[in-house]
Structure 1
Amino acid sequence: MTTEKDLRVCEKGHQYYKSSDCKSYPICHEENKPKSGFLAKLSSPARNALLHEGIDTLKKLSLHTEKEILNLHGIGPASIPMLRASLAEEGLTFKK
């Protein structure tokens, strides 16, 4: 099965091909990667998934269940232990 890729242009003018609806361009997202905090520990797709939902703090993350976060496009099972640990460092947990 062949997946057709569309030519796209990011906000900075970079051209790239993508087969999914995801608007992520790896080079630009790597340039915008935070230097510290829990978002810096995540892959670009996972970080972008959270930011797209307005989840930019651990407090906001704690308002969601693990299942809700796993349902976001870009979040995979490997992200959950890191997110759980980051929450625990601040005395927080995922919503039950």
Structure 2
Amino acid sequence: MSTAQDRGPVFDGVKIGRPATGALIDAGYRSLAGLPANMDELLALHGVGPRAVRLLDAARRGDPG
């Protein structure tokens, strides 16, 4: 039986969806501050798409929307 925790659709306060959240956590990311300077690098992770990257980048820059 698996004991994997449901990581939900939110990463560090940003609603990006379960696949993207899981991909970031599996890759070792734990916060917006820990994401790479070139956010496009995240597109190589299975489950992270352009929308998630846009939302994360906006949140990191402090852009509300």
Interval of TM-score (by shorter of Structure 1 and Structure 2): 0.7 to 0.9
Q: Aligned pairs, how many?
A: 60
Unaligned runs of 5+ in 2: none
Q: Deviations over 1:51-88 (max 9, x none)?
A: 00111111111x34222101101001111211111101
Out of 75, 87, 92, the residue aligned to residue 48 of structure 2 is 75
* 2:40–2:53 contact (8 Å) kept in structure 1: no
RCO higher in structure (CA 8 A, sep ≥6): 2
Out of 37, 48, 53, the residue aligned to residue 13 of structure 2 is 37
Structure 1 segments of 4+ aligned residues over 4 angstroms from their partners: none
Greater Rg over alpha carbons, structure: 1
Instruction: Give the TM-score normalised by the residue count of structure 2.
Output: 0.72
Greater per-residue helix proportion: 2
Unaligned runs of 5+ in 1: 1-9, 13-27, 91-96
